[in-house]
Amino acid sequence: GAGVSQSPRYKVAKRGQDVALRCDPISGHVSLFWYQQALGQGPEFLTYFQNEAQLDKSGLPSDRFFAERPEGSVSTLKIQRTQQEDSAVYLCASSVLLAPYNEQFFGPGTRLTVL
Amino acid sequence: DAKTTQPPSMDCAEGRAANLPCNHSTISGNEYVYWYRQIHSQGPQYIIHGLKNNETNEMASLIITEDRKSSTLILPHATLRDTAVYYCIVRAVNDYKLSFGAGTTVTVRA
């Protein structure tokens, strides 16, 4: 079956623009995660959803970052007034359940470049 | 605070076993050891996980020392497609996040 998909794959934004990044998780997966990966570093946790409920947003770097998953499937990560330091790959992952032994399946990521 | 320590890079010959070390000396009793890898321009991919027993699956083997302070991921017959960054992650039972470090960049050479 299809894996996690993300769109767009690449996004170039001018500083100050708003962007929206989409994640389509694997069908039936309850948990959804967003991570941010700066160049040359490992991914860092941003936020977590269980169905439509955002249970943890402790990793969001500022109030310019907002994520939603209104129907418990597709999720959107929105960044308002983008800054150069927002340039990174944004990864989405989903898993069947919350239990730690459930592996997270990652999408290919969206590479955001802010000029 | 990094919970794991991995060498930044290592090379491996194609067809040979690759042994990737990870130090997690402060691991707690309820924490698992996970391994993920990330091939260039792709998202991370789950490889294997374990608590205290050695584990094996179709991709790799995980050897955890008896005191659980370190582990080794073994890729039995490395291929060029195994070139990737490998992340060793310690994760508690009640923790849903994956905390990635810098990982080990493994280059498999023909």
Residue-wise pLDDT tens digits, A47-69: 999 999 999 999 999 999 999 99
* CB of B20 closer than 8 Å to CB of B5: no
- Confidence check: pLDDT of A24 > 70: yes
State chain B's maximal CA–CA distance in angstroms: 42
Query: What token pair was written down for A23?
Result: 């994640």
Among A29, A104, A110, which would you mutate to test the B interface (most chain B Cβ atoms within 10 Å of its Cβ)?
A104
Cα A85 to chain centroid, rounded? 16
Among A9, A29, A101, A102, which would you mutate to test the B interface (most chain B Cβ atoms within 10 Å of its Cβ)?
A101
Residue of A nearest to B88 (CA): A42
Mean pLDDT of B8-12: 96
The DSSP secondary-structure symbol of A68 reads: E
Can you tell me the distance from the alpha carbon of B64 to that of B52, in angstroms, rounded to the nearest whole number? Answer: 6
Query: What token pair was written down for A81?
Result: 């007034």
For residue B109, give every residue at least 6 positions away whose Cβ sits within 8 Å of its Cβ, in sequence order, or none: B11, B12, B13, B14
Can you tell me the distance from the alpha carbon of B45 to that of B37, in angstroms, rounded to the nearest whole number? Answer: 5
Please report residues of B whose CB lies closer than 8 A to that of A105: 46
- Confidence check: pLDDT of A46 > 90: yes
A83-109, pLDDT tens digit by residue? 999 999 999 999 987 665 678 999 999
Establish if B101 touches chain A: CB-CB under 8 angstroms: yes
Establish if B11 touches chain A: CB-CB under 8 angstroms: no
Can you tell me the distance from the alpha carbon of A45 to that of A105, in angstroms, rounded to the nearest whole number? Answer: 14
Q: Shortest CB distance from B45 goes to which of A48, A106, A109?
A: A106
Place of tokens 């490395």: B78
